[in-house]
Structure formats: structure tokens, C-alpha cells
């Protein structure tokens, strides 16, 4: 059976739910498919202190539950499931949910987000939100005046290490090779920073601790020498992967996989499809910027649909 709707929102992070709130209040009766991680990355985040309106902070899962309730209050339908395929070859737009249900939509808002890449150590999961993080801007404040480590060698790692050096007493930057992949200016900033110590030719073998991170065991991949380094926070900065695989061939993506949008908007290269949040943002990747772009997506979709109604048959 085919279901016909006005607005399909794919994804349920801050971008997806904000888009849903705006679309529902505009009378567009949005349908949200939550995806494999309902609530997005914030559901695996501890305390959120930098989202406006929460002076005492809020737990990530609690915040996402409240955003869902707010979206549902205005008539949003939320379904726990996956959009597993799309067909944007003609209008209206088509999608398949959970590999069986066909949905036809007048507008689609893509809010599938991005996933941080991790090293794959079991201890990463064990200490998630207990010393392990993939976002220095989100969590760096919790490690003020402490010693932390950043793993990575690109611009993201250099930026994270530099940011943390303003808060922390010492920052170790763990680099697998004998040089950084970061741009020359970013690498130079790290090299000139007295609070950052680079461990060259080094890989993390294990994250140590009981309830919280207390250190890491690293190995020099040239000499085989192992050592333990005392730290309180371990920041993984080896990149993000946008969750956009099902849109490949339908939407214009950059070389990493982020959806390209028209500057200053959420419009993609496909009529009626709008991209918001971390699926289209490789620079800021914050809950508040994702929510802001979700608002943009809903407003763009509303204007698009209004213009469609005025088109002659």
C-alpha cells in the first residue's frame, strides 16, 4: 500500500524535530521517520550545557525526548523505523520505509545527520560520556584545568587540540605518522602551542580506567615501545561520516558525502528535497546550528509547497 503525505522528514535529531515543529505548526502534517538512532547523536551524549534555554544543563536523551514531545504536540507523526530507499527521479517524491512501505511525499526534509568515526576499541564504548568524546566544543568545558588527549592528524584534530588547550592544563595530540595531515597553518598552530605535546608515530592501544577515564596505553609503531599516559579526557577527531548513502545518485554530495545545498538555504539540487543539520553541515556540527537549519528546511519546504499550489495545472 502507498501512503501519500505532504512532508516526510528523514531523521530525528535536533534538525529533524525542529523541522517537524515548524512544519506541523504550518499545517503540513509532517511524518518523521526516526532512523536507526532515534533522537540522533544527542541520545548518546551526557549533559548538554551549551543549548540555549537550559541554564542548568540537560541530559541529551531528555532533551531529545522533549523535542519529540513538542513536535508531536502540534500534530507530527513519529514512526520508529528507517527510510531504506528513495526515488527522486520524478515528482512527487518517493521513499521506501523499512524495505516494504512506499511513501509518496510532496516535500522531503533530509535530517539524517552524521556519525563520528571512532578507533574501534571496545574501551571507547565503555567510557563513552565517561571521558571519551568526539566533540571538544561540546564536552571540553568538563575537563577544565585537566590533562586530555586528542587522536587525529587532520585539521579537525588540530582544531580540537587548539580549542582544548585554552581550557585544559595539557593536551596530548596522538598522531599515527611522523607528520600531520592538517593544513600548514593549522599544524603550525599546534606545533607552536606550549600546552600541546605531540606523540608522533603513536597509536592508542587501550583506554584505561574503572568508572571514568584515568589514562591511555599507547604504542610507538616504529619502536614498539608502550607507555601509559595519565589523562582525564580522550577526544577522537578522526572525522565524521554523513549518513547519506541512500541519497547517492539522487542528491548532489561532496567528496566526503555531505549533501550540497544552495548557499543561504536548505534547497538541494532536487526539486522538493531539502537538507538540514549535520547531513549538510561539516563545519559547525552543533545541536543549536542543526536546530536552526531544521527551521530553515521547514520554512523552505512551506514556501516551496505554497508556490506549487499556485502553479497552473
Which residues form the catalytic set? 135, 138-139
C-alpha cell at position 159:
582544531
**Helices of type H across 77-120:** none
108 within 8 A of 190, measured Cβ to Cβ? no
Q: Which contiguous run of DSSP H or E holds residue 185?
A: helix 184-191
Distance CA 291, CA 294 (A): 5
Extended strands (E) in 185-230? 196-199, 202-209, 213-220, 226-230
Residue pair 66/112 in contact (Cβ under 8 Å)? The answer is no
Whole-Å CA distances, 23 to 28, 75, 160, 281 = 5, 10, 35, 21
- What does the alpha-carbon distance between residue 254 and residue 277 come to, in Å, rounded to a whole number? 15
| 270-279 residues labelled b (16+ CB within 10 A) or e (exposed) | bebbbbbbbb
Orientation of helix 14-25 relative to helix 60-73, angle to 10°: 20
Q: Extract the runs of DSSP E, i.e. beta strands, from 66-188.
A: 77-79, 83-87, 93-97, 101-110, 114-116, 132-133, 147-151, 170-174
Compute the radius of gyration of the chain from its Cα atoms.
Answer: 21
CA angle 247/252/258 to nearest 5° reads 75
What letter does residue 131 receive in the DSSP assignment?
T
Amino acid at each position: 500500500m502507498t501512503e501519500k503525505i505532504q512532508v516526510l522528514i528523514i531523521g530525528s535529531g535536533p534538525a529533524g524535530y525542529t523541522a517537524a515543529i515548524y512544519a506541523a505548526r504550518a499545517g503540513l502534517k509532517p511524518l518523521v521517520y526516526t532512523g536507526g538512532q532515534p533522537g540522533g547523536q544527542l541520545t548518546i551524549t551526557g549533559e548538554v550545557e551549551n543549548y540555549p534555554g537550559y541554564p542548568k544543563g540537560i541530559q541529551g536523551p531528555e532533551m531529545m525526548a522533549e523535542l519529540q514531545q513538542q513536535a508531536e504536540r502540534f500534530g507530527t507523526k513519529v514512526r520508529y523505523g528507517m527510510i531504506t530507499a528513495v526515488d527522486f527521479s520524478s515528482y512527487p517524491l518517493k521513499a521506501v520505509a523499512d524495505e516494504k512501505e512506499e511513501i509518496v511525499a510532496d516535500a522531503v526534509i533530509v535530517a539524517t545527520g552524521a556519525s563520528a568515526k571512532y578507533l574501534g576499541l571496545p574501551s571507547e564504548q565503555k567510557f563513552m560520556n565517561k571521558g571519551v568524546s568526539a566533540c571538544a566544543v561540546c564536552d571540553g568545558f568538563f575537563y577544565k584545568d585537566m590533562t586530555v588527549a586528542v587522536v587525529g592528524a587532520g585539521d579537525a584534530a588540530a582544531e580540537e587540540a587548539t580549542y582544548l588547550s585554552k581550557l585544559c592544563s595539557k593536551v596530548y595530540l596522538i598522531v599515527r605518522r611522523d607528520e600531520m595531515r592538517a593544513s600548514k597553518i593549522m599544524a603550525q598552530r599546534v606545533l607552536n602551542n606550549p600546552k600541546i605535546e605531540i606523540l608522533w608515530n603513536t597509536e592508542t592501544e587501550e583506554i584505561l580506567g574503572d568508572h571514568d577515564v584515568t589514562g591511555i596505553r599507547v604504542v610507538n609503531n616504529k619502536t614498539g615501545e608502550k607507555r601509559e599516559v595519565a589523562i582525564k579526557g580522550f577526544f577522537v577527531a578522526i572525522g565524521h561520516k554523513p549518513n547519506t548513502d541512500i541519497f547517492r545518485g539522487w542528491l548532489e554530495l561532496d567528496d566526503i558525502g555531505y549533501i550540497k545545498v544552495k548557499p543561504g538555504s536548505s534547497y538541494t539540487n532536487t526539486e522538493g528535497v531539502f537538507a538540514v543539520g549535520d547531513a549538510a553541515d561539516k563545519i559547525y556540527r552543533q545541536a543549536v546550528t542543526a536546530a536552526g537549519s531544521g527551521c530553515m528546511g521547514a520554512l523552505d519546504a512551506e514556501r516551496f509547497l505554497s508556490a506549487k499550489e499556485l502553479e497552473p495545472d
